[in-house]
A and B are shown apart, each in its own frame.
Chain A
Amino acid sequence: MTAEHKTVRAMHPGETIRSAFPGDLYESWDDVCRRLAGAGYGNVVTDSYLRHSPELARLASPQAAIVLATIVSGLAIRAGRRAAAVAPVAAIVAAKRYNDAASLQEWLRLIEQVGDQAPESAGALLDQTASLTARLDVHALASWIRIGLRSNNGEPERRLRFFTLEDPNARRWLLRESGEVGFLDLEARLKPYLTALWGETPPMRETPANAPEQARRRPGFDGSVVRLPAAYPGFSGSDSEKLYRAAVAHIGAHLKFSHERFPVGGLKPAQIALVSLIEDARVEHLAMRELPGLARLFTPFHAAEPSGTATAPGLFARLARALADPGYDDPDPWVQKGRRAFFEAEADWASQQISRRIGDLLGNDLGQMRVQFDPKNYVVQPPYRDDNLGLWDFGDDDQQQSSEAEQVLSSARIREELDDSRPPDRTETEMGDAGGCVELIEQAQDGVLVARYPEYDYVAAREQPEWTSVKEYAPKAVASGPAARLVEEHADLVARVKALIRSARVSRAERLRRQPEGEFLDMDACIEAMVARRIGEAPDHRLHGRYERRSRDLSVLLLLDISQSTAEKVRGSTRTVLDVERQSAALLARAMAGLGDPFAIAAFCSDKRDDVRYVRIKDFNQTYDDLVDARLDGLESGLSTRIGAAMRHAGADLACERSYRRLLLVVTDGEPSDIDIEDRQYLVEDARKAVHHLNLFGIDTFCVGLDSNADSYLGRIFGQRNAITIAAVERLTDLLPKLYLTLSR
């Protein structure tokens, strides 16, 4: 204890600290420091508190700094040392933002609460302090945190996604709490708007927060994606909405009328900007020929007015207005010239070359007028117009450009989940509590042995007990993979499945005839009864009919094969078999969630009999959401196909479900195999045995084989009626939900 105390003193010369903690408070501070040092949280935590608490005391109050010690200690115990070490730094950020005592006190309480209720997320929350406190006042922050704590069913992984803002819902709530209207609020309306105006269009994305400033302020597009700013700060709710609509309509006009990219060649930045500007006006005018109402949308955003000094951005904005707004007159000869040239070319508007020609012309004039153009700080005006990068072909740089674009666009990169939270100083192992969760995760990465199952040896005609070991592996979550992109890439399929579900739901009411009681008379039965009476027979008294809803009582487990062969590309496509599996599973999951049937998804592969790998992607009691999609996207192909063991394990799961029908739906792409088995027949026979066993327990099995040669052995395993093979793997996405609906009827 005394040794620790000395270090504390040595690190902080008494006077400065005494000034921060006047009077008795110094003793209290000294006391909490010693307690922290003595609790064995490690030097990182103690140092951080020692270093930052005096500053907090000065910024806010000494009391707050002392309260912080309790919170740091609580965090160290529950959330780990990293969170505890970050807390004092975050507290200073918060204190600078919330400069009244009550707000800071509330903030500290919130951190304590998150540390208690969602320890895994505390670190993530503290990491975001700067951006969160800048956007939300403390009450809004409190309500956002409350939403995060409540809305995630107490599942740590989900909460972590929320507090790291990976969950789009988290970002949406954040927008709502901050009172801005942003892309996420409007996304659901903008997408159909763009499609309605222009037909098939590329998907829309929010510009990620790590994109360069200019890209974040303006929309943009390339062939594959439309990128929109997360929000337009400074615009009111209804203006924002109009702005987004205008942006979308404008980009749609580009997609429709800007057919080729202009080569950059030796053009100067000012010329590029001008050609883009003329091209903007050209596509808008063409669009307005078809959709005259767009003028009402675009024109109000052109607010440029003639001003004294002629700067390039000012002139550009005025020219843009002169070209868009017929009621606007500009005294500047350059703007007038541009306008004249543009409208004289009206007959040639269909050709993209006029933009190039007029842009070049105006660019030269601008050079002669000695107006300076600063490309670094130039932002297109009005704000709904895009940055026009999509209009230009950068020649050799194109590759780089597109890869950069890719980087910008694939929002929210893969984050190796939880890895960050591992404290750097792992050698100190006395920290039982905080280390606990880390160890668990490491174990999960190796797989946890959960069960042993017998395997059937057909040569000996007996089951070898406890022959295979099934290990469960934690699923990885990867953002914006094929499963997450399902809706964008296969909107038609999703819609069709939705419609299927609706009809499957509504057509469930069935008309039962010849019932002893019911809501209507069964005409045929009545007549037969009367006939019977007249001939003197005893009539059947079951004359009624009624409608009855056949209730669905079905649980399904979808088991995906992710062995090495699924890494192969589907013929004639850039997608792998696993990609197709992911999307099919995501689509099927939507269907099943829509029907309200309980379902689970798991994947398997194997590395000899003692390591049959089983990945739970969704359990029966979890809800289907984008975490499930992310986990599907996180699957990796590898190893072999020991299907029997995987089915036994999946069957054990299904057996716990209490529904009338239980269905195990297996998707596999090849013959069962494993590297420790040479006899091709062996695993087929074992799988067949496993299926028999499951059937005995009332679990139905069905298999979809993604291999045209699979007929023989799949039929052997599952029975001819319970297996189908599809040669064109791509069809799986379409087929799986249909198959499911047929099976579940």
Chain B
Amino acid sequence: MHSTSGAKSAHDPALDDFRIDREPYYRSVGHEVALFQAAYGARMPVMLKGPTGCGKTRFVEHMAWRLKRPLVTVSCHEDMTASDLVGRYLLDADGTVWHDGPLTLAVRSGAICYLDEIVEARQDTTVVIHSLTDDRRILPLEKKNEVLKAHPDFQLVISYNPGYQSVLKDLKESTKQRFAAIAFTYPDAAIEAEIVASEAGVERPVAETLVRIAQRSRNLKGHGLEEGASTRMLINAGQLVAGGIALDQACEVALVLPITDDTDMRDALTAAIAACL
């Protein structure tokens, strides 16, 4: 309502699809919920760091639900241009018509904008968020010759996996320093088992075995595997077990084959899994 030209109501029907009605399951492992709430209170941009499949996206969904904000998610990729984020002129029968990009949509209407895997985007694309993430909180739409002031409810969240690609693809220092960061890792064994049991619908002992197996493959991180099995993979394996597949087979399908193409590594993993059963 404080936004400039073309300000739309926060109950913009265009945003209905972005609202989260039911509580997404999220098992808090530390203070991250309180941290995020405080950051949102200050409308501080937040960066979620952590390996793939450890619950970053789920956490954002959960927080959006808790804060009752719509969530606009953008999966970044290396071909993404600034206009893919901000918007562009399109043509219709009468002439050109401006079309908001997802970021502009969120800025205008006060949603949480979640840029997933931001490092994948090119650096010249990521700089468009700079003016939104300092005290200006504006988004210049230069093609439209408009400066869009951010809706007071708007918040920017990015996720970022500080993995191996981070040398060639790293955030600019000037980008990084605008964010508060919450680090995610795989939860402790007991909590992770609880998550797996709940999400996959398997018995607790099965979930515990799956977590022990995951530990084996996480031991191999940096020794042939880029990442160990994530919580998400464990849930997949658990779901297969719940669907009547034998545990060893489920592990092979959900934990071993997806993670590596190297036959020796696969062999070692399968043997290590056999040792857990």
Contacts and interface: CB of A to CB of B under 8 A. Distances in A.
Contacts of A196: 216-217, 219-220, 268-269, 272
Contacts of B275: 197, 249, 291-294, 297
Contact of A527 (B89, B164, B169): B89
B220 A195 contact: yes
Interface in B156-178: 163-165, 167-169
Interface in B233-277: 264-265, 267-269, 271-277
Contact of A500 (B89, B167, B217): B167
B165 A530 contact: no
Contacts of A190: 268
Given A292-B276, A292-B277, A507 B168 contact: yes
Contact of B78 (A491, A507, A523, A530): A507
Given A495-B226, A523-B88, A198 B169 contact: no
A741 interface: yes
Nearest to B168: A503
A294 B216 CA distance: 14
Nearest to B96: A531
Contacts of A491: 222-223
A534 interface: yes
Contacts of A696: none
B264 A189 contact: yes
B79 interface: yes
A499 interface: yes
Contact of B276 (A191, A291, A499, A504): A291
Contacts of A293: 273-277
B72 to A, nearest CB: 21
Given A296-B274, A500-B167, A527-B91, A290 B267 contact: no
B95 interface: yes
B152 to A, nearest CB: 32
Contacts of B163: 499
Contact of A197 (B219, B226, B265, B267): B219
B14 interface: no
Contacts of B90: 527
A491 B220 CA distance: 10
A499 B267 contact: no
Interface string B100-126: 000000000000000000000000000
B212 interface: yes
B41 interface: no
A534 B91 CA distance: 11
Size class of B's contact patch? 35 or more
Contacts of A200: 219
A436 to B, nearest CB: 45
A196 B265 CA distance: 10
Contacts of B220: 192, 195-196
A738 B166 CA distance: 11
Contacts of B272: 193, 196-197
A527 B219 contact: no
A344 interface: no
Contacts, number: 101
Contacts of A511: 79
Interface string A482-500: 0000000001100110011
Nearest to A738: B167
Contacts of A500: 164-165, 167-168
A300 interface: no
Contacts of A531: 89, 96
A3 interface: no
A245 interface: yes
Contacts of A245: 271
Interface in A468-524: 491-492, 495-496, 499-500, 503-504, 507, 511, 523-524
Contacts of A292: 275-277
A499 B168 CA distance: 11
A301 to B, nearest CB: 15
A369 interface: no
Contacts of B271: 189, 193, 245
A495 B222 contact: yes
B185 interface: no
A492 B220 CA distance: 10
Contacts of B89: 527, 531
A492 B222 contact: yes
A188 interface: yes
B76 to A, nearest CB: 14
Nearest to B273: A293
Nearest to B216: A196
A199 B219 contact: yes
Nearest to A490: B222
Interface string A63-95: 000000000000000000000000000000000
Contact of B88 (A197, A294, A524): A524
B265 A192 contact: yes
Given A192-B265, A197-B272, A294-B275, A499 B212 contact: no
Nearest to B79: A511
A175 B95 CA distance: 76
Nearest to A190: B268
Contact of A192 (B164, B165, B169, B224): B224
Nearest to B165: A503
A178 B47 CA distance: 58
A292 B273 CA distance: 10
A190 B268 CA distance: 7
Interface string B68-90: 00000000001101010000111
A394 B223 CA distance: 34
Contact of B83 (A195, A296, A499, A524): A524
Contact of A189 (B78, B268, B274): B268
Contacts of A492: 222-223
6 contacts: A196-B220, A292-B277, A293-B276, A495-B164, A496-B164, A503-B169
Q: Which 6 A-B pairs have the closest CB atoms?
A: A499-B164, A192-B268, A196-B272, A492-B222, A188-B264, A193-B268
Interface of B: 78-79, 81, 83, 88-91, 95-96, 163-165, 167-169, 212, 216-217, 219-220, 222-224, 226, 264-265, 267-269, 271-277
Interface of A: 188-193, 195-200, 245, 249, 290-294, 296-297, 491-492, 495-496, 499-500, 503-504, 507, 511, 523-524, 527, 530-531, 534, 738, 741
Given A189-B265, A200-B219, A503-B164, 20 more contacts: A188-B264, A189-B264, A190-B268, A192-B269, A193-B268, A193-B272, A195-B219, A197-B219, A291-B212, A291-B276, A292-B275, A495-B223, A496-B222, A499-B164, A500-B165, A504-B168, A507-B78, A511-B79, A530-B91, A741-B167
